[in-house]
Every structure is written in C-alpha cells, then in structure tokens.
Structure 1
C-alpha cells in the first residue's frame, strides 16, 4: 500500500493562512552534531526555522509578516506531521517576485516543535 509523503503544505501565521507554492522546509533537530573523535561529539544549538515559497496574492498579509516579532507559524505537511514555530519573526530580505508572483519567506523563532 502506498503512503502519501509529499504535496501541498499548509502554513498559518498567527491564524492567517498563506498559500504555499512548492514546499516548506523545517529542521528535524534543534542541534548540529559533529564528531570530534570516534564515539565523542559536540553539539551546537541551531535556530529554529521554517522556510517556504508563498503566492503573492492580493490579500497577502505584508504588515503582519514584516512587523511580527513574536508570531506563531504552523506548517502542516502532507504526511500529517505538523511543525510549530513559536516566537517567530522574518529573517533575511524577503522580496516579491513579479515574474512568478511568489515571495520566499524564512522565519526564525525561539522554539520549533514537531507534533
């Protein structure tokens, strides 16, 4: 029997749904591990994040996204897994692309949780 693992992701920012084009990306771990000697490793904390490409629709919530400093961003993947990013804010330099009507967004936050 086949299992659905990919497809449209659903994203909400403080309750407002965004239209996602393509996919979304979220980290599986909150740390980066590196082996320093076989059997010994070090850990470095990573920022929780969520990346996506959204459609730049007429009702795109520009002010909500650009002014938000403590947002909750929820992403439901097609396989049923849900990633919740708390204390979220936009990073980098999001810009609207007129040729394909999309906006690349990257949120960082204080805590990312898988459900």
Structure 2
C-alpha cells in the first residue's frame, strides 16, 4: 500500500469550495530567520514574523465568488492537501492584485490572514 503525498487538493473559502487547478502553497513556519554577517563571519541571526497565507490557482467558473473574495476581510480559508494535511487561515483577505485569465480560465489567488494553523 503506497502513501499518497501529492495530487488533488481542496480549498474552501468560508465553506464554499473552489475548483483548484494546480499549485497550492501554505507556509510551514511562522518565523523567518536570516543570518547577520559581520567581518568575522556569521554573528547570529534576526527573526521576523511570516505573514500567514494561502496561494493557489483556481478555475474561474461561472459561479466563482469574486465579489465575496474581493470584498471580505474576515474569511476562513481551509486548504486540504492530498496527503491529508489541512491548513486553516483565519481572518483572511485577498492580498495583492488578482486577475482572471481568459485563455486558461484560471485565476491566481493569494490570501493573507491574521492566523494560520496546521491541523
């Protein structure tokens, strides 16, 4: 019996499931560390907070919830990976610019939020 580690993923926005075309990305860490380099080498590191996020490519269906996604500032985004891992993003909002691409029928989305948690 094999272990499924990749494949179909599911994303829900406030309970409404989106059609995910491809990439799904969520951070596994909540802190970023960068080395502080001095003349003698690495002196230590600095630590900054990583913004919790969910990035995905969705199919731009006729019932795509574009008004809700573009206006809401307190969504709950649930991302379920093919391996069973689930990431929940709370108090989420659409970050950056998103545009529907007619040629491929897709839309790139990036949600940022106040809290991200792996379950």
For normalisation by structure 2, the TM-score amounts to 0.91
Equivalent of 1:107 in 86, 108, 111: 111
- Match 1:95 to one of 99, 103, 109: 99
Where in structure 2 are there 5+ consecutive unaligned residues? 37-41
Q: Which aligned segments of 4 or more residues in structure 1 are displaced greater than 6 angstroms?
A: none
Q: Given the alignment of the two structures, is residue 32 of structure 1 paired with residue 36 of structure 2, yes or no?
A: no
Query: Which position in structure 2 is the counterpart of 1:62?
Result: 66
Distance in 2 (alpha carbons) for counterparts of 1:4 and 1:110: 30
Tell me the C-alpha RMSD between the 2 structures. Answer: 1.1
SS in 2 for 1:99: coil
SS in 1 for 2:73: coil
**C-alpha distance in 2, partners of 1:34/1:97?**
36
For the residues of structure 1 that align with 2:23 and 2:81, how far apart are their CA atoms?
9
- CA–CA distance in 1 between the matches of 2:52 and 2:11? 16
Structure 2 Cα separation of the partners of residues 18 and 79 of structure 1? 19
- 1:3, 1:34 → 2: CA distance? 34
Say which one has the larger Rg. Answer: 2
Pairs within 5 Å for 1:7-46: 7-36=7-36, 37=42, 40-46=44-50
Which 5+ residue runs of structure 1 have no aligned equivalent? none
Q: How many residues align?
A: 114
- Cα distance, 1:41 vs. partner? 2.6
TM-score (norm 1): 0.94
